[in-house]
Amino acid sequence: MLTTKTRRFAAPILAGALAATMLAACGDESAPTATSEASLPSTSDSTTSTAPSSTSGTKKSPSCAADTAAAMTPTQRAGQLLMVALDPSAGPTGLDSHISDQGLGSMLYLGGWRGQQAVTEASAHLQQVAPRVDGRRVGMLIAADQEGGEVQQLQGDGFTTIPSGVEQGKMAPAELRAAAAKWGAELQRAGVNVNLAPVADTVPAELGTGNGPIGKHQREYGTTPEAATKGSVAFSRGMLDAKVQPTVKHFPGIGRIRGNTDVAASGITDATATTKDPYLAPFAANIKAGVPIVMVGSAKYPKLDAQNQATFSTKIITDLLRQRLDFDGVVITDDVGVAAAVADVPVPDRATRFIDAGGDIVLTAQPTQVQEMVGAIVAKADKDPAFAKKVDASVVRVLTLKKDMGLLECR
């Protein structure tokens, strides 16, 4: 397990359970009640994969986002598809060269930042040096990993000590939503506009702390999909109330594995998950609640895709998440910079394979990988028209989110 001083922790439908939790996201915040699977998006369980549409995710503001994307250089487009960690030792200017040279569009505070003032100053600087395209400012997605408990990157003056997911799960939904709104307001004041939380993974009671990435550290909201839904949706709603974009993770669920994908390449297989897995329900509920970002984990799910782990799986990202669960927002990786689960995949391929599978933002804890990843995206798009269309679709999804957040200037 990696410590918060070096980087963040790693970061899932039986008919009744899924429909019930979707109901919880759309209506009353009390415990969900069961209905039928008829409310799910209708799609077959076929293993046939379909590439994402080049207009996917552009419903709200297609013209501005698409126009801005068209005005970007290939390097700038690729740069919008990376989120890179900034350690406090690098200071506010630590990513400046990547922003100016590679058009970097997103960053993550990592390494244990202390005090709201330091974070606020860094955030202001990052927005000041954010890329400009055809005279338009394209603001930065500035992210933190503020789950609570052992996973809270921003601490000290101005930041409340957030309880663990297990403790949050004991709160009534309205109470947790109000608390999350308070925590989100603290992020807003520090210039943070994205939170890489909540965890929607369900850790079964019989596994408990034997689950390395979640259960061991009490990051889960409970031991059932209903409990995971109740807690994660309340947290997401609170963040949205504070105008901070929540990121539900780690799709399609890492609650049944034993190994931690950050530090292990073994013990990371969930041999149970299918397209009708009840552990997918919390993710579906958060999508219904309006969560704009979904993080895909790096575990393996042979019944969903026998060849590829989730990060590189078209069957999981495009077929299951985008088509079956009807998600047209931004999809981000868990860290693929130094995670052991992807160590045998060449660095350039970690970026291109994820985008090719239907993902959008590649998260790396290692800034030295930026140029290599951007170069790989540009080179593959130049040679492969089908991949270029996927890059364009991803850039438009990212820019659409930024437009909706007030980060993209439009004429």
Query: What pLDDT, on a 0 to 100 scale, did the predictor assign at position 63?
Result: 83
CB neighbour list of residue 290: distance below 8 Å, 6 or more residues apart: 236, 240
**What distance lies between CA 390 and its chain's CA centroid?**
18
Helix-strand-coil split of the chain, %, nearest 5: 40, 15, 45
Query: Which structure tokens are listed for 302?
Result: 């042979």
CA 387, CA 172: separation in Å to the nearest integer?
Answer: 45
- Phi, psi at residue 300, to the nearest 5°? -115, 140
- pLDDT tens readout for residues 72-96: 999 999 999 999 999 999 999 999 9
Indicate the pTM of the whole model: 0.87
Helix (H) or strand (E) holding 231: helix 225-241
Contact 78, 105 (CB under 8 A): no
pLDDT band at 20 (very low <50, low <70, confident <90, very high): very low
- pLDDT tens readout for residues 108-124: 999 999 999 999 999 99
392-394-397-400 Cα dihedral, nearest 10 degrees = -50
Cα–Cα distance list, 383 to 44, 79, 191, 235, 389 (Å): 32, 18, 38, 43, 12
Query: What pLDDT, on a 0 to 100 scale, did the predictor assign at position 226?
Result: 98
What percent of the chain clears pLDDT 90, i.e. is strictly above it?
83
pLDDT band at 47 (very low <50, low <70, confident <90, very high): very low
Sorted by where each starts, the structural domains of the chain and their CATH numbers stand as: 15-28+57-404 (3.20.20.300)
Q: For 233-246, what is the mean pLDDT?
A: 98
CA 249, CA 202: separation in Å to the nearest integer?
Answer: 11
